Amino acid sequence: MEKRLNISYAGIQATYWMVYAVVGSFASVFLLARGYSNSEIGVILAVANVVAVVLQPMVADLADRSKKISLVGIIEIMTIIMLLFMACLFVFQQKTLALSVIFLLLLAWHTSLQPLINSLNFKLEESGLKINFGVARSMGSLAYSILCAFMGTLVETYSVSIMPVSGVVVILMLMTSLLATKKMFDKAAAAKAAGGETETGNVVKEEVEEEINLIAFLKRNKVFLLLNIGVLGIFFSNQVLNNYMIQIVSNVGGDSEDMGRILSIMAFLEIPLMICAGSLRKKFSCELMLKVAAVGFTVKIALHYIATTVGMIYFAQLFQLISFGLFLPVMVMFIDEVMSKGEAVKGQAFFTMMTTVASIIGSLIGGVILDISGAKMLTLIATVFTAVGTLILIATVDKVKKN
């Protein structure tokens, strides 16, 4: 069962990020074709992230406190609602208020699922089934990269009308993975209730989960929240690179073809350390690896600032290995280690929320800085933000573990 469960959980991660490839990475392409201006698209994306910031802790609180519906069940319900939002995109062929609302809700709903899917890894392990989160998450990066490459060709061939079709297909694939996972999870839960052993031979023990509401969580985890301020600063540069790479590349003589290759390299370089994160955890502490990854983010954006050629931009992507590729799986493991079982999902939600806030700030401030001072100033400011965030993380991560 353990091998099948790892495959189905990897399928959840892969299809979740494939949905993002459709509705996130190609959002501008779809909305431009529907008659939206760049500024209107920026507002929709920013509002979607704001809504996600509000939704994430609420959904996480529900998941932590719910006794009647399992975490898998909550994810299934949210996925069905996301499918309905996606289906609504077939109806609108031009810019309307209704389309704006539906599209931003689709983006916000998708973002709100991320902490639940990350936490599902550890909920499954509570039943005695071992899940390799790093490998599963790396499949998300791989699937995202592949679909992005194909989506560009599909849109050119069939127009943006192919995007809702692709979105519905991918969400149905996500539902299939969720159903397979739930089936195995229920079987493991039955073994736990009987006080027996799982198919892997691991003795399943009952654990008393401490119920904790959102207010209590905030009071109890002040240092953790401060650490996440550091995460905000670190991920500011990540968002700048994701949103404005074409301007950064053009500033040193590159073009859109270079940009496409660079983003592809970034995605693939995330995979190796995501796969190896579990093995690295056996040798190094999460605190140490988070510090190394934070420094990697700082060096990467600093190299973009000092770059004078496209070749230097390509070289900078090597630090994706020890920045995003290491930070994400280790942060998920770190939260599971330091949080009690009754607050783990809220911990994942606050981490995701801070990366979402970084997306909002990076999207809005980044565009203004580009218009006023250009790409060089943007990468300089991003370097400063990231360096400050790195210092905050280094100063707090050990204290979080002690608390």
- CATH number, residue 305: 1.20.1250.20
Mean pLDDT score, 296-322: 94
Q: Has residue 77 got a pLDDT over 80?
A: yes
Please report whether residue 52 resides in a domain: yes
In this structure, the answer to whether residues 218 and 149 fall within a common structural domain is no
In this structure, the answer to whether residues 51 and 87 fall within a common structural domain is yes
Confidence at residue 200, expressed as pLDDT on a 0 to 100 scale: 46
Please report whether residue 298 resides in a domain: yes
Please report whether residue 204 resides in a domain: no
Mean pLDDT score, 95-121: 90
* Boundary residue ending a domain (193, 223, 240): 193
In this structure, the answer to whether residues 92 and 140 fall within a common structural domain is yes
Please report whether residue 93 resides in a domain: yes
Give residue 208's pLDDT band: very low, low, confident or very high (50, 70, 90): very low
Compute the distance between CA of residue 304 and CA of residue 314 in angstroms, rounded to an integer: 9
Q: Taking a C-beta distance cutoff of 8 angstroms, is the pair 127, 189 a contact?
A: yes
In this structure, the answer to whether residues 231 and 325 fall within a common structural domain is yes
**Amino acid making up residue 272:** P
Note every long-range contact of 213-220, with CB atoms under 8 Å and residues 24 or more positions apart, other chains counting. 213/61, 213/65, 214/57, 214/61, 214/346, 217/343, 217/346, 220/343
In this structure, the answer to whether residues 158 and 269 fall within a common structural domain is no
CB neighbours of residue 249 within 10 Å:
25
In this structure, the answer to whether residues 306 and 357 fall within a common structural domain is yes
SS3 call for 197? strand
Q: Has residue 203 got a pLDDT over 50?
A: no
Q: How far is CA 383 from CA 17, 88, 357, 388, in A?
A: 27, 40, 17, 9
What are the structure tokens assigned to 81, written together?
Answer: 């609602």
In this structure, the answer to whether residues 162 and 246 fall within a common structural domain is no
Confidence at residue 196, expressed as pLDDT on a 0 to 100 scale: 53
In this structure, the answer to whether residues 274 and 168 fall within a common structural domain is no
Confidence at residue 169, expressed as pLDDT on a 0 to 100 scale: 96
Please report whether residue 342 resides in a domain: yes
Please report whether residue 206 resides in a domain: no
In this structure, the answer to whether residues 272 and 188 fall within a common structural domain is no
User: Which is nearest to 296 in space by CA: 318, 276, 267?
Assistant: 318
Please report whether residue 209 resides in a domain: no
Q: How far is CA 169 from CA 107, 144, 183, 275, 401, in A?
A: 17, 15, 22, 27, 42
In this structure, the answer to whether residues 355 and 256 fall within a common structural domain is yes
Give residue 275's pLDDT band: very low, low, confident or very high (50, 70, 90): confident
Which residue has 């190609």 as its token pair? 26
Q: Taking a C-beta distance cutoff of 8 angstroms, is the pair 31, 47 a contact?
A: no
Q: Taking a C-beta distance cutoff of 8 angstroms, is the pair 359, 239 a contact?
A: yes
In this structure, the answer to whether residues 221 and 355 fall within a common structural domain is yes
The runs of H, that is alpha helices, within 126-221 are: 133-158, 162-193, 214-220
**Which of the given ranges, 110-114, 350-354, 371-375, has the highest pLDDT on average?**
110-114
Give the domain extent around 143: 2-193
Among 258-262, 285-289, 307-311, 377-381, where is mean pLDDT lowest? 258-262
Compute the distance between CA of residue 255 and CA of residue 249 in angstroms, rounded to an integer: 7
| Prediction pTM value | 0.73
Counting the structural domains of the chain, the total is 2
In this structure, the answer to whether residues 51 and 135 fall within a common structural domain is yes
* Boundary residue ending a domain (161, 193, 225): 193
Please report whether residue 201 resides in a domain: no
